[in-house]
Amino acid sequence: MENLDILCKKIISKIDEADDLNTLNAVRIDYLGKKGEITKLMKELTNLTHEEKKSYGKNINTLKVKVLDSIENKKVYLEKKIILDNINKERLDITLPERSYSSGHIHPISHTIEEVIEIFKPMGFSVAEGPDIEDDFHNFTALNFPPDHPAREMHDTFFLNESNNGEKLLMRTHTSPVQIRVMKDNEPPIRVLAPGRTYRCDYDITHTPMFHQVEGLVIDKKVNMGHLKGCLTTFVESFFGINNLPVRFRPSYFPFTEPSAEVDIGCQRKDGEFKIGDGGEWLEILGCGMVHHNVLKACGLDPNEYQGFAFGVGVERIAMLKYGITDLRMFFDCDLRWIKHYGFSFLDKFDGNN
């Protein structure tokens, strides 16, 4: 009897210690399996007298029932624990703050080009493109550049080693060659904008070897300088968002236009501050003019039938003025902090007045 009590305590403490189902099952086999200790004791009952069997048998049975119950209880406990552990492990903590993500920004150059396009769209302009690698004909000759023009020199233009059927290839120095391509490929009336990269052999605080321009070209019958003035005045007023912005068309020279002009806008520089709109000072903003008859002829158009005007705007320049960007070189430095500061979200809307 005393032995059974000791055995019972030993088994119960083993059950208590079992902290997983395998260990618990091993305890069950050790005591209640075919060769288990309790099973053995029950088999030995056959050797006892009837009286002994009665009392000892009852005690062993009580022990057996107690052990079975304890094992069953522990089993239920361990199974629940497994489920709870899994629930805890798999729990989704919705109180955690969201993982931060950073979205990209639209580069001020792309944004400014889009703005320019949006302003000209309602005036009937569509967008044309030309290659960055040009030939001498489109970049210079057809645009009426004289053979000795300085732009044809190595120090201004990046010439490439390969030639195009004996003609020198170069990185286009302006977007004006797109005018030639458009006039050769399309019948007037023509109203196009040609934004794109341009290249010049120049690098200092106000020049980078690659920069951007937007070219404009209008060809039709009876186009005159009044159309040019109206169109470009509308553009600068919309772009800078200032009604009645002072605009001046100052006579200038470009080989491909006659007459030629540069457009200045009114501004004021005072106490280190720069303001567009007021003041008695002028700031050059773009080049323009009536398309030269030699250019029309080079494209197969009759200057007696068709006239037109053209203009070219430096994208970096107008972006710097509008968005207060002071260092030209930062446009191309790929500094993410700069892009985050000066760049635009794709959700930023513009209506020509911001």
Taking alpha carbons only, the member of 238, 246, 239, 253 closest to residue 289 is 253
Contact call for residue 139 and ligand DAH (CB under 6 A):
no
Using the rule CB under 6 A, which residue among 70, 157, 176, 238 binds ligand DAH? 176
**Binder to ligand DAH among 14, 64, 168, 174 (CB under 6 A)?**
174
Binding segment (CB under 6 A) for ligand DAH, from list 106-114, 156-164, 185-193, 307-315: 307-315
Under the binding rule (CB under 6 A), the answer on residue 70 touching ligand DAH is no
Q: Restricting to residues 109-138, name those near ligand DAH by CB under 6 A.
A: none
Q: Is 255 in the site for ligand DAH (CB under 6 A)?
A: no
CB 219 within 8 A of CB 211: no
Binding of ligand DAH by 306 (CB under 6 A): no
Binding residues for ligand DAH, how many (CB under 6 A)?
Answer: 11
Enumerate the β-bridge partners of residue 216.
Answer: 193, 311
Type of residue found at 232: L
Does position 312 bind ligand DAH by CB under 6 A? yes
| Residue 310 engages ligand DAH in binding (rule: CB under 6 A) | yes
Among 182, 288, 295, 315, binds ligand DAH (CB under 6 A): 288
Complete edge-to-edge strand list for the sheet that includes strand 159-164: 133-135, 167-171, 159-164
Among 257, 296, 299, 308, binds ligand DAH (CB under 6 A): 257
Shortest CB 216 distance to ligand DAH, Å: 7
Could you tell me if 30 and 37 are in contact, meaning their C-beta atoms sit under 8 angstroms apart?
A: yes
Please, what is the minimum distance in Å from the beta carbon of residue 187 to ligand DAH? 20
Q: Is residue 168 at the binding interface for ligand DAH, with CB under 6 A as the rule? A: no
Whose CB is nearest to ligand DAH?
312
Query: Does 254 contact ligand DAH by CB under 6 A?
Result: yes
Q: Least distance to ligand DAH from the beta carbon of 106, Å?
A: 25
| Nearer Cβ to ligand DAH (70/176) | 176
Interface with ligand DAH by CB under 6 A: which range of 67-75, 112-120, 263-271, 304-312? 304-312
What character string, x for contact with ligand DAH (CB under 6 A) and - otherwise, covers 200-229?
A: ---------------x--------------
Between the alpha carbon of residue 107 and those of residues 110, 205, 209, the distances in Å are 5, 20, 18
Q: Work out how close the CB of 103 gets to ligand DAH at its nearest, in angstroms, rounded to a whole number.
A: 35
| Residue 322: CB minimum distance to ligand DAH, A | 19
Q: Which is nearer to ligand DAH, 31 or 211 (CB)?
A: 211
Segment lying near ligand DAH (by CB under 6 A), choices 105-113, 157-165, 276-284, 306-314: 306-314
Residue ranges in contact with ligand DAH by CB under 6 A: 174, 176, 215, 254, 257, 287-289, 310-312
